[in-house]
Amino acid sequence: MTNGDDWEDLSVRVIRALAMDAVRAASSGHCGTAMALAPVAQVLFGRVMTFDPDDPTWADRDRFVLSAGHASILQYSMLHLAGYDLSLDDLRAFRQLGSRTPGHPEVGITPGVEVTTGPLGQGFANAVGLAIAERRLRAQHGADLVDHRVWAIAGDGCLEEGVSHEAASLAGHLGLGRLVCIYDDNHITIDGPTELALDDDPVARFRSYGWQVIDLGEQANDLAAIEAGLRDAVADETRPSLLVVRSHIGFPSPKFTDSKDAHGNPFPPEEIAFTKELMGLDPTASFQVPPEVYEGFRRATDRGRAAHSSWTARVEGAGARGELLLDQLRGDHEAALEQPLTSFAAGEQIATRRAFAACIADSAPLLPELVSGSADLTENTGTQLPGSSAQSAQEPAGSQLHFGVREHAMGSIMTGMALHGGVLPVGGTFFVFSDYMRGAIRVAAISHAPVVYVFTHDSIGVGEDGPTHQPIEQLASLRAMPGLEVFRPADANETAVAWRLALQASGPTALVLSRQNLPVLEETAMNGPEGVPAGAYVLCEVGDGELAAVVVGTGSEVSLALEGARAAAGRVGRIRVVSMPSMERFLARSSTERREVIPLGVPVVSIEAGSTFGWAAISDVAIGIDRFGESAPAGEVFAHLGITADAVSDALIGAVENEG
């Protein structure tokens, strides 16, 4: 028994049937979890959540995250039944090329999907970010204008992944009382029972994180009990809540209930027919939704439409306060973009991480949406906001967020914050530890989430910390990721331009910055504002006569390229020095535009203190590092590994002489 109204009981059975039908039609997917969670979804969408299917992007809607994204057909079925612009034909096209119902939920593809989920645990951490964004906006603009909640469904796999542990710990510390996660405790993974690899106690674990835990036990089919549990969860606004539901995957299929085969396989047609018959549905019909289910949801969602209308009136009635909220939600950063670039004097010695700190400090007063933090490296990464309070349960409007030593969760939480709207998240760590965040960065790129990663200590310049802390392959790795903008500025002036471009980006941006001091080059102040957006530009030319060679550098090696070019010019003739802060931007330009910077017919030498992978598309001779580093003072490591001005000079002379 579901203990619901007649239409709700019928709806639960329809949801289960749609899950079986769609997965069978696709010959691919996960219907078992969707079937088991149909009552939970019914309560969320039919009784508890506030949303307006006529306007899926209404700013004060509740957010729903299906962290167990493999059960996507559950979310798609609910969006269809609740009246979103998602048809039965869309459900029939489940997992097909070009459909709006892909294998895992993707933001921007399906109306009503808030975040892209699939890699287990990512959605859970995204939900923490959504909750941080909601609370901060509410503290900034008032509870009458910002008043919504975040609901998530996570499975055993989500809670096994380490990213969920990191995120849950931070959520408990911050006291995110408007975050409710439903834990689908079905004891089944792809390999079999969870007991094959899992014995921990999630109730005890989440209580230790500072969460309220409500254990419903064997009430996964009781709508009244589920609603009561969710209401109890929202009654405590001082702690995030975990609602534990002991469900049975594949229920009520006689053959596949509690079976690992219900996890990722379509049911045979005869089992689908038999299960439908058990539920009192037509065993011969597919994708059937009785009109009373649609009518029931229409009545249920009228509450959300009324809430939307009331909110619109309150925002309009709030005058300037309402306008400030709407401006922040638009996220165009107009005021900060109109201010002059932060400037640095030529000849000054400054690490690009320190230059970034100056840039963000200049911008912060004009960016009420800015939230900056790091994985326990705030001062080291230049992500501190002078005069700002730290985000906490006591200071929910705080702009400084201490993520702790939780790189993976930091990345995922930033994605949730950005996709919520009204928040610009900046997060910093040492570049080598971008490896810990890579899964989150990838999902942010797929999601087009406008986040800013500040990766400092970007090379063997880390020095004595040695190869575990000296990035080698990370630049090539991140450059290979579609949808991620990667900038490695040559000096403070290029850093200022890169920060400006990050503010204009429609997706994630990585700023890769130096630990060590670098000279501020006179040429970057003159040419950088136009050159950095192009990806690469002519910094200067040294020597006389015909153009003999080009040397290209990035980051801290641009000054070495310039020094080496000056040393070689007297012997080989005129040399062009090119700064390339963004390889991807440069390669995306037309061949004509690229040849204006790096012409055909002359040898090209590149220098970068990292892997030479990818440089073959640009240079004939690549000076780089295709091994791990050494523990020694930075200058000694650069010399030992051949990242020097002398190496540039020798390579230029050799390349020109070989050309001749």
Q: Who contacts 398 (Cβ-Cβ below 8 Å, separation ≥6)?
A: 136, 388, 389, 390, 391, 392
Within 10 Å of residue 20's Cβ, how many Cβ atoms?
27
Q: What's the start-to-end Cα distance of the chain, in Å?
A: 87
Check if the beta carbon of residue 87 is closer than 8 Å to that of residue 18. no
Check if the beta carbon of residue 223 is closer than 8 Å to that of residue 300. no
Tokens describing residue 39: 């009552």
Check if the beta carbon of residue 421 is closer than 8 Å to that of residue 146. no
SS3 105: coil
* Rounded (10°) CA dihedral 61, 66, 71, 76: 20
Tokens describing residue 234: 């929202």
Find where tokens 């990722």 sit: 264
The residue count of the chain comes to 660
Sign of CA dihedral 35, 40, 46, 52: negative
Tokens describing residue 634: 């930075």
What pairs with residue 549 in β-bridges?
575
Tokens describing residue 472: 């080698």
Q: Is 187 left (phi over 0), alpha (psi -120 to 50) or beta?
A: left
Check if the beta carbon of residue 495 is closer than 8 Å to that of residue 355. yes
Distance CA 400, CA 386 (A): 9
Q: Who contacts 639 (Cβ-Cβ below 8 Å, separation ≥6)?
A: none
Check if the beta carbon of residue 223 is closer than 8 Å to that of residue 2. yes
**Residue 407 bears catalytic tag:** yes
Q: Is 545 left (phi over 0), alpha (psi -120 to 50) or beta?
A: left
Phi and psi at residue 409, in whole multiples of 5°?
Answer: -65, -40
Q: Who contacts 496 (Cβ-Cβ below 8 Å, separation ≥6)?
A: 341, 342, 343, 344, 355, 359
Q: Is 614 left (phi over 0), alpha (psi -120 to 50) or beta?
A: left
Given the residues 8, 134, 407, 485, select the one marked as catalytic: 407
Distance CA 76, CA 104 (A): 10
Distance CA 9, CA 279 (A): 10
Which residues are identified as catalytic?
407
